Amino acid sequence: MRKYYLDNIRWITILLVVVYHVVMIFSGILHGMGLPFKDVQYQDGVMYVLYPWFMILLFIVSGMSSRYYLEKHSLKDFVRVRTRKLLVPSTIGVLVAGCLQGYISMSIANAFDTIPETLPGPILVMIMILSGQGVLWFIQMLWIFSMMLALVRKFEKGKLYALTEKTHIIVIILMGIPLWLSGQILNTPVITVYRFGIYAFAFFIGYFVFAHDEVIERISRLKFVFIAGAVILGTVYLYMHFGENFAVMPLVGSVEAVAFAWITILAVFGSAYSWGNKRGNVSAFVSGRSWGIYIFHYLCVSGTALLLRRYTGLSELPCYLITAMAGFGGSILLYEIISRIPVLRWCVLGVGKDKMNVQG
C-alpha cells in the first residue's frame, strides 16, 4: 500500500523549502546571499523556524524511501536508478544550467566587482558553473549516502533492520542526542550546507528505524506532546538567536537548534501519519511535480528577486509575493517543459525513457 503520509511530508517540506528561499533571498542575515530591504526584517524569523529541521527531515524521508524501494527492486537497480536520478543532474545538469544560476548568484553577491577584467573567459564560466550548484547539494549528498547504503546492505543482510522494529518511544526521543553529536563532525568549513555527519545519520535512521510502520505508530500516539514541544522549543530558539547567522557553526549545531529540530521532526511524522495518510487532487498534482519544484525553484526565486530589486522600486510585500509566485509557478512550468525534452530531461532531471521515479 502506498504510504501517502510520506509523499505528503515530502511535497509539503519541498514547498517550505521554496518559502525559505523566498525569505532568504531578501534577507541580510546570510551575508552576500540576499537582497535586503532594511537591517531588521521580522519576516526573517521564518528562516529560523524552518532551517534547523526541514533538510534533516528530507534526508530521513529519503532513507525511508530507499528502504521501501529496495523491498521491491534489486540492489543493482537501486544503484542504477539513484545514479541517474541524483548524480546526473548534480554533475551533467550543472554544466547545462549551472552557468545561469551561477551568474544570478554571483550578481546577488556582487562577486563580479571583485573579479579582474583580465580573467580568461573559460575560467569565468567555470566559476559561474561552480557557483551555480544552488540546491543541488542535497542530491549530491543523497547520492553519496545511497552508495554507502548499497555497501552496507551487502553486509547487513536485514539483521539490524529487524532489531529496530521494536524501538521504544523513549529510545526514539533520545536519538536526538546522537543526532546532535553527529552534527558536530564532518561539516565543511566554507560551503556550510555540506553537513555530512548529521545528514548521514538522518538518512540511515530513516532507513533502519523510521521505515518501520510500528515506529511511526508509536510516534503518532504522542503527536500532541511533540507538537507542543516543537512550538515551545521553536519559540525559545527564535527568541535566543534572532539576528544571528543560523546556518553556520556553532549555532546550527547547538543543543537548542538540534533539540528543536528533532522534536519538530517527530511532530511532523506523528501528525502526518495520523491525519495525512491520504491523497487528494492537490496533493497528487504537487507530489507528482515535487522533484521539479525542488530542482528549479531556486533559479526562479533568485532570478526574479534580482530583477525586482535591480530594475523596480517595488516595496517588500509585492516583491515577496511576486517572487513566491515565480518560485512555485515558474518551477512547475520549467518542469513541464524540460520533462518533455528527452536530452534535457535526462541531463537536468535524471529521468530516462522508463521514467522510473526514485525520489529522495
Please write the tens of the pLDDT for every residue from 181-218. Answer: 999 999 998 888 999 999 999 999 999 999 999 999 99
CA distance 132 to 296: 12
Residue with C-alpha cell 509575493?
321
Q: Which DSSP string corresponds to 276-315?
A: -----HHHHHHHTTHHHHHHHHHHHHHHHHHHHHHH----
356: pLDDT confidence band, cut at 50, 70 and 90?
Answer: very low
pLDDT at 353 (0 to 100): 62
Mean pLDDT of 73-88: 94
Mean pLDDT of 216-225: 98
pLDDT at 354 (0 to 100): 53
Distance between the two ends of the chain, CA-based, in angstroms? 19
CA distance 13 to 53: 10
Distances (CA, A) of 127 to 15, 112, 123, 337: 29, 11, 6, 27
What is the maximum span of the chain, computed from C-alpha positions, in angstroms?
64
pLDDT at 1 (0 to 100): 73
Q: Is the pLDDT of residue 358 over 50?
A: no
Compute, in degrees rounded to 10, the torsion defined by CA atoms 315, 320, 323, 327.
Answer: 180
Q: Is the pLDDT of residue 107 over 80?
A: yes
CA distance 57 to 273: 14
Contacting residues for 193 by C-beta, under 8 A, at least 6 apart:
137, 247
The model's pTM is 0.94
2: pLDDT confidence band, cut at 50, 70 and 90?
Answer: confident
96: pLDDT confidence band, cut at 50, 70 and 90?
Answer: confident
CB 39 within 8 A of CB 310: no
Q: Is the pLDDT of residue 30 over 90?
A: no
What three-state secondary structure class fits 187? strand
Instruction: Say whether the peptide bond before residue 342 is cis (omega within 30 degrees of 0).
Output: no
Q: What percent of the chain has pLDDT over 70?
A: 98
Q: Is the pLDDT of residue 90 over 50?
A: yes
User: What's the grid cell of residue 338?
Assistant: 524540460
What are the counts of helices (DSSP H) followed by strands (DSSP E) for the chain? 19, 0
pLDDT at 60 (0 to 100): 98
Distances (CA, A) of 99 to 27, 131, 293, 349: 24, 8, 19, 16
pLDDT at 359 (0 to 100): 46
pLDDT at 156 (0 to 100): 83
Among residues 94, 38, 89, 52, which one has the least CA distance to residue 249? 52
pLDDT at 89 (0 to 100): 92
pLDDT digits (tens, 9 = 90+) for 148-171: 999 999 888 778 898 999 999 999
Burial 55-85, CB ≥16 within 10 A → b, else e: bbbbbbbbbbbbbebbeeeeeeebeebbebb
**Which residues sit opposite 305 in a β-bridge?**
none
Mean pLDDT of 254-281: 97
